């Protein structure tokens, strides 16, 4: 019922937001007579703020149409490499000129984006920084409300199955990068591939700000998971998709509830940001105002998560700590497999954490170093990003200037020469 109430609220707000948007332009356009009335800039700013607080935020575009390689601007196009009901594997294909044809052999990087509220476009800055030196792929998760119930449920085991299929498709020279939530299922996927002695295991796995072991430096997110029962999460947060969507009847953790949780973690920060946006509009500081718009166009665009996947994650990752305790069993290809990271021996590991991360606390990602005891010490690396919060490790200045160069060097260090390529059966 809550989802239906939300949809009714959206229907009511839509004409109000359209009116507020129109009024903002009437009072803000220099060619409009209303722009000459006293306090027009304040009135226009107030209407735009009202519009942005109430509008619907759709999935943004990646908008990565070009990159620069060796001083040359190279066009980039998005291409769907693989397509499954709950996820598309996207490739950012660099249209290299003949003078840069040798760069086609740059390392392939498979970026696993979080399936935890925001769209994969949240990693736009991650992809942008990787493109000059890598062939980049990313998991583009589908909003669960857009997936028909004919496709069945989607569990955490299914996420792991997708991860294995993507890695197998790209071959044994791919370098895997997981950001936040995917660190757990990606480690499980690579562990299973190692146990199965799969010849398509990746060259490296880079894990950034993820909940490998949430018993280390627990945050507010971890505390919530531990102070509520599994039944509470199912009763309180799981709802059915209304009839107007293709996924009508599917049980989901709605995006609007996830967004409310994001905002509730730092309400003062968001209130200050919106107030500053209003003042920037009044002062005519359009650069800062545009930065605010870009950030919240991304931050406010959320997707519904499949209920089964979300509840599996709460139970196995945050409540039972199944991965670090060695008690996690996964169904894949008709068999049950025990997740044992110690079986990984041929995949180099790089863990990255933010010094000020308030979502995945210090030590949670580093726990992967101890779990992967079969990886030689020389093939392990850990990096704590000074002054970085959760988002700072994969976007913004710290990502571009501090983290990405480390990732680039790590991948190059463990890249296999052409004469040493593994034979793939």
Per the structure block, which two tokens stand in for 54? 């109430």
User: Which pLDDT tens digit goes with each residue over 147-175?
Assistant: 999 999 999 999 999 999 999 999 899 99
Q: Render pLDDT for 234-292 as a digit per residue (tens, 0 to 9).
A: 999 999 999 889 999 999 999 989 888 878 777 888 999 999 999 999 988 999 999 99
At 278-332, the pLDDT tens digits run 999 998 899 999 999 988 888 888 999 999 999 999 999 999 999 999 999 999 9
User: In DSSP terms, which residues pair with 59 in a beta bridge?
Assistant: none
Predicted pLDDT of residue 424? 35
What are the contacts of 263-271 at 24+ separation with CB within 8 A? Answer: 265/220, 265/221, 265/358
* Rounded Cα gap, residues 391 and 291, in angstroms: 16
36 Cβ neighbours under 8 A, 6+ residues apart:
none
pLDDT tens string 344-403:
999 999 999 999 998 899 999 999 999 999 999 999 999 999 999 998 999 999 999 999
Higher pLDDT, 219 or 101: 101
Question: Quick one: pLDDT at residue 420?
Answer: 41
Q: How confident is the model at residue 421 (pLDDT cuts 50, 70, 90)?
A: very low
The pTM assigned to this predicted structure is 0.90
Whether 8 shows a pLDDT value over 90: the answer reads no
Three-state SS for 253? strand
> Region 74-82: what's the mean pLDDT?
96
Percent of the chain with pLDDT over 70: 98
Residue 335 — very low, low, confident or very high, per pLDDT cuts 50/70/90?
Answer: very high
**Domains (ranges, CATH) in the chain?**
2-56+255-299 (no CATH), 66-231+305-416 (3.40.50.1820)
Residue 96: phi, psi to the nearest 5?
Answer: -75, 135
Burial of residue 78 (CB within 10 Å: 0-12, 13-18, 19+) is middle
pLDDT surpassing 60 at residue 418: no
| Helices and strands per DSSP (H, E), number in the chain | 15, 14
| DSSP state for residue 302 in the 8-state scheme | B
With cut-offs at 50, 70 and 90, classify the pLDDT of residue 116.
confident
User: How far is Cα 382 from Cα 291, in angstroms, rounded to an integer?
Assistant: 32
Continuous segment of H or E residues that includes residue 251:
strand 251-253
**What average pLDDT does the segment 75-88 reach?**
97
CB-CB contact of 91 with 83 (8 Å)? no
Longest dimension (CA), the chain: 75
């Amino acid at each position: 019922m809550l989802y239906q109430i939300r949809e009714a609220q959206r229907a009511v707000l839509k004409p109000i937001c359209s009116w507020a948007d129109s009024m903002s332009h009437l009072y803000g356009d220099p060619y409009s007579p209303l722009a000459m009335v006293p306090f027009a800039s304040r009135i226009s700013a107030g209407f735009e703020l009202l519009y942005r607080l109430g509008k619907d935020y759709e999935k943004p575009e990646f908008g990565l149409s070009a990159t620069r390689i060796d001083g040359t601007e190279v066009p980039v196009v998005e291409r769907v490499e693989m397509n499954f009901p709950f996820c598309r594997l996207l490739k950012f294909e660099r249209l290299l000129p003949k003078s840069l044809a040798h760069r086609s052999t740059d390392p392939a990087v498979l970026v696993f984006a979080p399936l935890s509220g925001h769209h994969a476009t949240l990693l736009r800055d991650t992809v942008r920084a990787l493109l000059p030196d890598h062939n980049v792929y990313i998991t583009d998760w589908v909003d669960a409300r857009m997936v028909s119930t004919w496709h069945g449920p989607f569990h955490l085991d299914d996420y792991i199955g997708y991860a294995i299929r993507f890695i197998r498709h790209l071959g044994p020279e791919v370098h895997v990068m997981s950001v936040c939530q995917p660190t757990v299922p990606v480690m499980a996927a690579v562990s299973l591939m190692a146990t199965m002695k799969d010849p398509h295991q990746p060259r490296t796995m880079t894990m950034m700000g993820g909940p490998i072991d949430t018993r280390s430096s627990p945050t507010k997110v971890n505390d919530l998971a531990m102070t509520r029962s599994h039944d509470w999460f199912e009763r309180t947060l799981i709802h059915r998709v209304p009839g107007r969507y293709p996924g009508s009847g599917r049980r989901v953790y709605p995006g609007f509830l996830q967004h409310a949780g994001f905002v509730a973690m730092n309400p003062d920060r968001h209130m200050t940001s919106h107030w500053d946006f209003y003042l920037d509009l009044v002062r005519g500081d359009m650069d800062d105002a545009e930065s605010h718009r870009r950030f919240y166009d991304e931050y406010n665009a959320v997707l519904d998560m499949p209920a089964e996947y979300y509840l599996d994650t709460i139970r196995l990752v945050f409540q039972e700590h199944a991965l670090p305790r060695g008690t996690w069993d996964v169904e894949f290809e008709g068999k049950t497999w025990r997740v044992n990271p110690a079986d990984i021996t041929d995949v180099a590991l790089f863990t990255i954490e933010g010094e000020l991360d308030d979502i995945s606390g210090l030590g949670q990602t580093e726990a992967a170093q101890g779990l992967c005891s079969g990886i030689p010490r020389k093939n392990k690396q850990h990096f704590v990003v000074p002054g970085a919060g959760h988002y700072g490790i994969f976007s913004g200045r710290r990502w571009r200037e501090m983290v990405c160069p480390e990732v680039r060097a790590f991948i190059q260090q463990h890249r296999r020469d052409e004469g040493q390529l593994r034979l793939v059966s």
